[in-house]
Amino acid sequence: MLAYCDTNVYCRPFDDQSQARIKAETEAFIAILEQVDQGKIVLTSSDVLVAEVGQIASRPKRQLVELYLAHCGQHIVVTPQIVQLADHLVKRTRLKPRDALHVAAACVGQVAILLTCDDRVARKRQTISQATRQLGFEVSILNPLDLLVKFGQQAAAR
């Protein structure tokens, strides 16, 4: 199964772990990395993801996130098709341009699941699915906790 994590998933381990939801999402991300190591999931990166990670101000944090990116088995190069699809998504779903680029990259890369901890993106998952499906793309937008549930694993309650 191909999965794409947006930047906030890779950064989740560096957020305030005293909050139950953040801690649960961090644990879910680590469990997903274990699934990657077992060959059950293939993570996909993109030029968009690499560029965002490169903008992380804290050098130690950026280097650690880059280590997480090393788990990716595939990479999506941004093409005019991705940019055009992202523009369409911005207009149709009112996603922020960077979020639309992540979705467009996942679609063009034929990724089955896009993982995000961003509630604004998650709330628009139905609208995003409709917009992408009309163009022949199929990608499910899930929180990392939702993916573990799909795999039948125990995840901490939100």
Which CATH number do you get for residue 103? Answer: 3.40.50.1010
The verdict on residue 156 lying in a domain is no
Number of other residues whose CB lies within 10 A of the CB of residue 82: 24
pLDDT in tens, 87-97: 999 999 999 99
The verdict on residue 155 lying in a domain is no
The verdict on residue 158 lying in a domain is no
The verdict on residue 31 lying in a domain is yes
The verdict on residue 104 lying in a domain is yes
- Read off the pLDDT of each residue in 40-69 and give the average, rounded to a whole number: 96
pLDDT in tens, 138-150: 999 999 999 888 7
Q: Which of 140, 129, 113 is nearest to 40 (CA)?
A: 113
The verdict on residue 26 lying in a domain is yes
pLDDT in tens, 96-139: 999 999 999 999 999 999 999 999 999 999 999 999 999 999 99
Give the domain extent around 27: 2-150
Number of other residues whose CB lies within 10 A of the CB of residue 153: 14
Residue 28 pLDDT: 96
Domain total of the chain: 1
The token pair at 122 is 């998650």
